[in-house]
Amino acid sequence: MNEIRETGCSREGEIHCLTIIGQIEGHQLLPDDTKTTKYEHILPLLAAVEESPDIKGLLILLNTAGGDVEAGLAIAELIAGMRKPTVSLVLGGGHSIGVPLAVAAGTSLIAPSAAMTVHPVRLSGVVIGAPQTMEYLSRIQERVISFVTSHSHISREAYIRLMQNTDVLANDVGSILSGAEAVSCGLIDRVGTLSDALTVLHGEIAKAAKETLRKN
């Protein structure tokens, strides 16, 4: 039986388990009673995981509720740029910035009971009603679309349709996808649970080890 401890040590190989939950907190501080993941804590951790000779793979557990787009994209870019095997598992809900975080991993899974919410980028607080504001939002949106479509199997057209859908969310624009729907549209690789995610990750670790031996 594989025992997962704090650093993710298991019999088949050493992994690190990273949880990204609640809202992604960026430069603006969120209220103390809001569950957050602080991106300035995650960024150096990812760099340390990548450099550690004792860690062979990364398991990312996601249950997000939106948050700072810039901070979320920063985390997603680091995950996507890692050489070590990475697997993400969406649990509960993957809201807004949780989508690029999920697809950033080498393999993405979603629990059968989980869902993903896809909607356009929004601004909160005071917003200046000027053409420049709309241009700014459009540029951010384009970065999200480009990242998601380049790290998953969903087409640009299909992803934009999901974002602009008005039939699902009563007071908003966007789509809520069940686990199976997220897979069928190409956004997530497969439906699975924790054991499935670990099996995939251990398989990728073994494959990477064989490739290293072959090169040496």
β-pairing, 9-10 with 13-25? antiparallel
- Any domain includes 31: yes
Does a structural domain hold residue 156? yes
> Residue 201 pLDDT more than 50?
yes
Longest dimension (CA), the chain: 60
- Residue with the bigger pLDDT between 200 and 28: it is 200
Structure tokens at 198: 């670990």
Instruction: Output the average pLDDT for the chain.
Output: 84
Separation CA 183–CA 186 (nearest Å): 5
Nearest to 8 by CA among 58, 43, 46, 51: 58
Q: Does residue 123 have a pLDDT over 80? A: no
Report which secondary-structure segment, H or E, holds 9: strand 9-10
- What pLDDT is stored for residue 212 in this prediction? 80
Q: Is 111 helix (H, G, I), strand (E, B) or coil?
A: coil
Residue 2 is assigned to a structural domain of this protein: no
What pLDDT is stored for residue 77 in this prediction?
A: 95
pLDDT digit string, tens, across residues 78-88? 999 999 999 99
Provide the residue range defining the domain that includes 62.
9-215
- Measured CA to CA in angstroms, residue 67 lies from 106, 110, 177, 197 at distances of 23, 20, 19, 25
Give 169's pLDDT tier (boundaries 50, 70, 90). Answer: low
Percent of all residues in the chain with a pLDDT value above 70, rounded to a whole number:
81
3 part of a folded domain: no
- 184 vs 119 pLDDT, higher one: 184
Q: Which is more confidently placed, 8 or 2? A: 8
pLDDT at 134: 66
Q: 120 or 18, which is more confident?
A: 18
Residue 70 near residue 43 (C-beta atoms within 8 A): no
Q: Please check whether residue 129 lies inside any domain of the structure.
A: yes
Number of structural domains the chain divides into:
1
Entry field: residues in the chain: 216
pTM for the complete prediction? 0.85
* Residue 47, both tokens: 């760099």
Please determine, for residue 200, whether its predicted confidence score (pLDDT) is greater than 90.
yes
Q: Is the pLDDT assigned to residue 183 strictly greater than 90? A: yes
**Helix/strand/coil (H/E/C) assignment for every residue in 171-195:** CCCCEEEEHHHHHHCCCCCEECCHH
Q: 207 in a domain, yes or no? A: yes
Taking residue 204's Cβ as centre, other Cβ atoms within 10 Å add up to: 19
For residue 72, what is the domain's CATH number? 3.90.226.10
Nearest to 189 by CA among 75, 120, 105: 105
Query: Pairing mode, if any, of strands 86-95 and 115-118?
Result: parallel
Burial of 141 (0-12, 13-18, 19+ CB in 10 A): middle
- 1 occurs within a structural domain: no
Q: What is the pLDDT of residues 4-55, one digit of tens each?
A: 334 445 554 489 999 988 877 666 666 666 667 787 889 999 999 999 999 9
Q: Please give the Cα distance from 92 to 189 (Å, whole number).
A: 17
Query: For residue 3, is pLDDT > 90?
Result: no
Just list the catalytic residues: 96, 119
In a domain, 46, yes or no: yes
